[in-house]
Amino acid sequence: MKISKSLLKRGLLLVLVMALVFSSGIVVYGAGDEVVKSRMRLGEDIENLDPAHLVRGYDIALALYNKLLKYKPGSSELVNDAAEEFNVSDDGKVITFKLKEGIMFHKGYGEMTAEDVKFSFERIIDPEQNSEYAADWQTLDHVEITGKYSGKIILTEPLASLLVTTIPFTPGSIISKKAYEELGNKFATNPIGSGPYYMEKWVPEQELILGRFEDYFGQKPNIEQIELYPIGDKNISEMNFDKGDLDVTEISLDSIDRYESDSDVDVHILSTLKYGFIGFNHKYAPFDNINVRKALRYAIDVDMIINGAYSGVPKRANAMIAPGILGHWEDAPQYDVNLEKARELLEKAGYPDGFEVEMISTSNPLYMNTSQIVKENLRKIGIEVNIKLIETSAWYEYVGKESHPIMFFETFSLTLDPGYWVEWFTTDQVGKWNFLKWSNSRYDELADKAAVTMDLEKREEMYIEMQKIMDEEAAIIWITNGAKAYVSNKRVDPVFLGHYNQYRYWKIVE
Amino acid sequence: MSENRNYLKEIINNIKESNLRRVFTDPLGLFGFLLILFLVLIAIFAPYIAPYSSSDIDIANRLASPSSRHLFGTDNLGRDVFSRLVFGSRIALTVPILTISFGIILAIIFGLIAGYSSERVGNIFLVIFDIIKSFPALLFAMTVIALTGSNLFVLIIIIGITRFPAYARLIRAQTLRVKGKEYVIAAKAIGASIFKIMYKHILPNVIGPIFIQAAMDIPVVITFVAALSFLGLGVPPPTPSWGTMIKIGYSFIRIAPWMVIFGGIALVWATLGFTLFGEALRDNLDPRLNRQR
């Protein structure tokens, strides 16, 4: 019995590790002589806080670094951050900027100059850096210094996403050149920026403490210290929150009701930038038949999936791009369940008695639940769905690279730039991330064109047309853009950066 | 005279001499037996006992707390937890029994060969058994499932493979003991084929202790399958499996603890039953232990 106990324990641990989510928040404690502190949950411990390589802990990066531009909290409006002046030339190829004077770096690394900006941006396209963000700066040629505080960003081609997801986000973070040259690889865990907080202490897997940067050039936040605890499991962080050990945390969507009845707690429900969808491999029968796909669209109960697998919290999505993002298709048709029509379409497709099909799922409850609902839905029109469980990394091999006549549920995490949303269904991505193996030349053409179109209205039209193409071809079944929920004490007023699923804004009195 | 013992006969004799009664007069053994009997009855009569289907989804009624309508509440898709536990008992019982049967078949083949062949060949087999045995079972299972995907057949094969070396060693040891016996030599002398000798003369004399070992192993396999299901690598949904129910229930533990509580009770029920009964069997029937009496 010893063996089995340790097996279960190991299993539990693995699940704990797997259930990681980002989350954090802010609290103000006490007054007078006490240090004003906040305690938050950090879903997963950090690995690398260098903005050229940072792929988790985006919210920490927001506190550590400044960019030329930033988003206003809760909106998609851009305002100056480190930049005093910021202009884009008419052809979109030259960006001139002038830094504010007197922006200081943490820990005595001096004042921010155009030299630091040049270093920070050019470093990301340096092949030697092998940065995760190289594609975000793909058309950067070089940064020209024109004065101590001013410079020009020279591009080979205009890039529409530059002002959406590059300059105001992680790859636009400005680091201290001097510090990086001194610290080298150690910079990853000793980050030097100019943001409202500096990294005071990091004990791996225990805690990460951010201290308020007293020489911050903007208005100083009222919280002097932020303590972050890596807690993977939402159940555990909810317990910590209930005990008072945490002041803000992400919670599971099913806990919303319980916290909403508590008058000492604020519940924040945020829409996420994701899409969840049911996909099928278009290369194989029966999914190569448009009538089959249309039948599935009438048979799969999207509202049931949202209620059953998403706890009924997020809104239904009828097209790819979420509201608030350029290219959102407001008037996309909604296909409500109509079994009659579904059966007709199946008959038209030559499958009057339905067929049998494999649906691939990982052990993630969201995936398992969705698959089971789809199985129930499709049984009603004679389609027998066999759910095949597969381990996550094998899932990507199976669904992405290899080709099998299967259907599946999947979610993608996205950014504020619509180009990033549409990219995954282009022909180039077949064999990589285009799990549908769907291919449409008009769609590809529009994707390429929209990426370099600076006129927002024209760009929007193109993205909407792309979604219309997918709709006409019944290429995919959209479920939702998702939601996540946080709780905070009444004493706390966390500000979440609007519309970016993993980002939130530090409460800075502005 | 222990050299000439025939274990199967002794076990049968023990039973005949109503030593089996000792298993049932042993209060823990009886308790274990009753737990198992109850479970077996539930598994057999599941469709008559379960008030609902195990797979019908009723989203409007999800995470309902235990009530007269849903004795153990409902799960996150509105399915009746009691019904799913009842149907889940079938998986909980059949997987270990099939697995162990498969393991025993492998063990008989390789154990007999290892025991009956020359010492050198036997030693090679021993090394192979030990290699398989020392390989971490869960890791092995996870790797294979990652490659093949999970279904009942794969589960039975891989768990069977990880369990068989223990039985095979046991069979080999017993075979070594009997292969020099007069009746084996006599059979050889009259020209019986090697298969006939193994099947007719050796096997019946070595198989006894395996059953006791198998009874002791059932709870281990039950929890192993539950652990795999808990990792999401067990029986694919919507087939009700206790491990999967506990796993899914875990993410709702704060708002709907009944999934984990009742799933856990079912698991404890089965493992406790087989462990107690297996121990009672061993204590009262295993001739190897009789030596001390």
pLDDT digits (tens, 9 = 90+) for B259-272: 999 999 998 998 89
Task: Give the pLDDT confidence score for residue B16 in this predicted structure.
Answer: 62
Contact B243, B226 (CB under 8 A): yes
pLDDT digits (tens, 9 = 90+) for A335-362: 999 999 999 999 999 999 999 999 999 8
Residue A237 lies in a domain: no
Looking at residues A148-160, what average pLDDT do you find? 93
Residue B117 lies in a domain: yes
Q: What residues of chain B lie within 8 A of the CB of A376, using their CB?
A: 55-57
- For A484, the 3-state DSSP assignment is strand
Cross-strand bridge partners of residue A97? A86, A151
CB-nearest to B76 from A11, A369, A387 is A369
Contact A360, A398 (CB under 8 A): yes
**Is A249 touching B (CB cutoff 8 A)?**
no
CA distance A366 to chain B (A): 10
Task: Give the pLDDT confidence score for residue A114 in this predicted structure.
Answer: 95
CA distance A136 to chain B (A): 34
Asked if A235 and B253 come within 8 Å (Cβ–Cβ), the reply is yes
Asked if A255 and B142 come within 8 Å (Cβ–Cβ), the reply is no
Chain B residue with Cα closest to A311: B76
Contact B228, B145 (CB under 8 A): yes
The answer on A328 and A314 residing in a single domain is yes
Looking at residues B79-99, what average pLDDT do you find? 90
- Going by pLDDT thresholds of 50, 70 and 90, the confidence category of residue B125 is confident
Domain carrying residue B111: 7-58+67-292
Chain A residue with Cα closest to B79: A308
Selected residue of A391, A402, A487 to mutate for chain B interface (largest B Cβ count, 10 A): A391
Task: Give the pLDDT confidence score for residue A499 in this predicted structure.
Answer: 45
Task: Give the pLDDT confidence score for residue A495 in this predicted structure.
Answer: 66
Q: What residues of chain A lie within 8 A of the CB of B147, using their CB?
A: 394
Would the CA dihedral through A237, A239, A242, A243 be positive or negative? Answer: negative
Contact A368, A359 (CB under 8 A): no
The answer on A413 and A355 residing in a single domain is yes
Asked casually if ipTM beats, i.e. exceeds, 0.95, the reply is no
Task: Give the pLDDT confidence score for residue A36 in this predicted structure.
Answer: 67
Structure tokens that stand for A218 in this block: 């903007």
Chain B residue with Cα closest to A2: B220
Count of Cβ atoms closer than 10 Å to residue A102 Cβ: 10
Residue B1 lies in a domain: no
pLDDT exceeds cutoff 90 at A223: no
Asked if B223 and A238 come within 8 Å (Cβ–Cβ), the reply is no
Half-sphere exposure of B291 (CA within 13 A, CB side): 7
Residue B73 lies in a domain: yes
Asked if B231 and A14 come within 8 Å (Cβ–Cβ), the reply is yes
Residue of higher predicted confidence among A402 and A80: A80
pLDDT digits (tens, 9 = 90+) for A438-469: 999 999 999 999 988 888 899 999 999 999 99
Burial A49-64 (b: 16+ CB within 10 A, else e): bbbbbbebbbbbbbbb
pLDDT exceeds cutoff 80 at B52: yes
For helices B152-178 and B137-148, angle between their N-to-C axes, nearest 10 degrees = 140
Residue A264 lies in a domain: no
The answer on A293 and A184 residing in a single domain is no
Looking at residues B248-266, what average pLDDT do you find? 89
Residue showing tokens 């796909």: A293
Distance CA A470, CA A125 (A): 34
The answer on A214 and A225 residing in a single domain is yes
Tell me whether the omega of the peptide bond preceding residue A286 falls within 30 degrees of 0, making it cis. yes
pLDDT digits (tens, 9 = 90+) for A40-77: 777 777 888 999 998 777 778 888 999 999 887 666 78
Residue A288 lies in a domain: yes
CB-nearest to A11 from B230, B253, B275 is B230
Task: Give the pLDDT confidence score for residue A10 in this predicted structure.
Answer: 38
Asked if B63 and A388 come within 8 Å (Cβ–Cβ), the reply is no
Distance CA A195, CA A200 (A): 13
Residue A490 lies in a domain: yes
The answer on A131 and A215 residing in a single domain is yes
Distance CA B6, CA B12 (A): 10
Q: What residues of chain A lie within 8 A of the CB of B62, using their CB?
A: 307-308
Count of Cβ atoms closer than 10 Å to residue A190 Cβ: 16
Residue A17 lies in a domain: yes
The answer on A288 and A425 residing in a single domain is yes
Task: Give the pLDDT confidence score for residue A218 in this predicted structure.
Answer: 86
Residue of higher predicted confidence among A74 and A436: A436
pLDDT digits (tens, 9 = 90+) for A1-24: 334 444 333 333 333 222 222 233
Distance CA B85, CA A50 (A): 50
The answer on A194 and A95 residing in a single domain is yes
**Is A394 touching B (CB cutoff 8 A)?**
yes
- For B62, the 3-state DSSP assignment is coil
Q: What residues of chain A lie within 8 A of the CB of B151, using their CB?
A: 388
CB-nearest to A7 from B223, B236, B252 is B223
Smallest CA-to-CA distance from B223 within A13, A15, A9, A18 is with A9
CB-nearest to B232 from A7, A255, A389 is A389
For helices A2-18 and B208-230, angle between their N-to-C axes, nearest 10 degrees = 10
Share above pLDDT 70 across residues of chain A, in percent, rounded to a whole number: 89
- For A508, the 3-state DSSP assignment is coil
**Is A364 touching B (CB cutoff 8 A)?**
yes
Selected residue of A363, A388, A404 to mutate for chain B interface (largest B Cβ count, 10 A): A363
**Is A258 touching B (CB cutoff 8 A)?**
yes
Q: What residues of chain B lie within 8 A of the CB of A367, using their CB?
A: none
Residue B267 lies in a domain: yes
The answer on A409 and A385 residing in a single domain is yes
CA distance B193 to chain A (A): 42
CATH of the domain at A125: 3.40.190.10
Count of Cβ atoms closer than 10 Å to residue B111 Cβ: 28
CATH of the domain at A437: 3.10.105.10
Domain carrying residue A41: 5-230+484-508
- Going by pLDDT thresholds of 50, 70 and 90, the confidence category of residue A34 is low
Half-sphere exposure of B121 (CA within 13 A, CB side): 11
Distance CA A110, CA A120 (A): 15
Classify strands A150-155 and A140-145 as parallel, antiparallel or unpaired: antiparallel
Looking at residues A484-506, what average pLDDT do you find? 64
Residue B2 lies in a domain: no
CB-nearest to B231 from A234, A238, A363 is A363
Cα dihedral A423→A425→A426→A427 (10° resolution): 150
Selected residue of B77, B79, B135 to mutate for chain A interface (largest A Cβ count, 10 A): B77
Q: What angle do CA B171, B173, B179 make, to 5 degrees?
A: 90
pLDDT exceeds cutoff 90 at B148: no
Tell me whether the omega of the peptide bond preceding residue B238 falls within 30 degrees of 0, making it cis. yes
Task: Report DSSP state, residue A90.
Answer: T
Q: What residues of chain B lie within 8 A of the CB of A372, using their CB?
A: 55, 57, 77, 237-238
Out of A265-269, A423-427, B131-135, B232-236, which region has the weakest mean confidence (pLDDT)?
B232-236
- Going by pLDDT thresholds of 50, 70 and 90, the confidence category of residue B178 is confident
Asked if B230 and A364 come within 8 Å (Cβ–Cβ), the reply is no
- Going by pLDDT thresholds of 50, 70 and 90, the confidence category of residue A507 is very low
How distant, in Å, are the alpha carbons of A377, B34, B267, B279, B288 from that of B274? 39, 10, 11, 8, 21
Strands across the sheet containing A140-145:
A83-88, A94-99, A150-155, A140-145
Asked if B78 and A4 come within 8 Å (Cβ–Cβ), the reply is no
pLDDT exceeds cutoff 80 at A38: no
Task: Give the pLDDT confidence score for residue A496 in this predicted structure.
Answer: 66
Q: Which A residues, 7 through 36, put their C-beta within 8 Å of a C-beta on chain B?
A: 7-8, 10-12, 14-15, 19
Q: Which chain B residues have any C-beta within 8 angstroms of a chain A C-beta?
A: 55-57, 59-60, 62-63, 76-78, 138, 142, 145-147, 149-151, 219-220, 223-224, 226-227, 230-234, 236-238, 247-248, 250-256, 271, 275
Residues 6+ apart with CB under 8 A from A245: A39
CATH of the domain at B131: 1.10.3720.10
Count of Cβ atoms closer than 10 Å to residue B194 Cβ: 13
pLDDT exceeds cutoff 90 at B37: yes
Contact A304, A288 (CB under 8 A): no
The answer on A57 and A84 residing in a single domain is yes
How distant, in Å, are the alpha carbons of A96, A156, A271, A285 from that of A86? 6, 19, 30, 54
Distance CA A414, CA A419 (A): 10
Smallest CA-to-CA distance from A226 within A197, A204, A257 is with A197
Residue A253 lies in a domain: no
The answer on A491 and A456 residing in a single domain is no
Residue A73 lies in a domain: yes
Distance CA B67, CA B262 (A): 14
The residue count of chain B comes to 293
Out of A135-149, A184-198, A494-508, which region has the weakest mean confidence (pLDDT)?
A494-508
Task: Give the pLDDT confidence score for residue A5 in this predicted structure.
Answer: 40
- Going by pLDDT thresholds of 50, 70 and 90, the confidence category of residue A198 is very high
Query: Which residue type is seen at B159?
Result: I
Distance CA A14, CA B250 (A): 13
Contact A434, A427 (CB under 8 A): yes
The answer on A344 and A355 residing in a single domain is yes
- For A369, the 3-state DSSP assignment is helix
**Is A166 touching B (CB cutoff 8 A)?**
no
The residue count of chain A comes to 510
Asked if B77 and A254 come within 8 Å (Cβ–Cβ), the reply is no
Q: What angle do CA B209, B212, B218 make, to 5 degrees?
A: 140
Looking at residues A75-89, what average pLDDT do you find? 89
Q: What residues of chain B lie within 8 A of the CB of A386, using their CB?
A: 236
Asked if A7 and B271 come within 8 Å (Cβ–Cβ), the reply is no
Residue A256 lies in a domain: no
Q: What is the mean pLDDT of chain A?
A: 85
Q: What residues of chain B lie within 8 A of the CB of A368, using their CB?
A: 232, 237, 248
The answer on A215 and A115 residing in a single domain is yes
- Going by pLDDT thresholds of 50, 70 and 90, the confidence category of residue A169 is confident
- Domain total for chain A? 2
How distant, in Å, are the alpha carbons of A397, A429, B103 from that of B175? 47, 61, 18
**Is A189 touching B (CB cutoff 8 A)?**
no
Would the CA dihedral through B111, B113, B116, B121 be positive or negative? Answer: negative
pLDDT exceeds cutoff 70 at B119: yes
pLDDT exceeds cutoff 70 at A498: no
For helices B258-285 and B27-44, angle between their N-to-C axes, nearest 10 degrees = 130
Residue showing tokens 């960019």: A67
**Is A308 touching B (CB cutoff 8 A)?**
yes
pLDDT exceeds cutoff 80 at B102: yes
- Domain total for chain B? 1
Distance CA B148, CA B162 (A): 17
- For B34, the 3-state DSSP assignment is helix
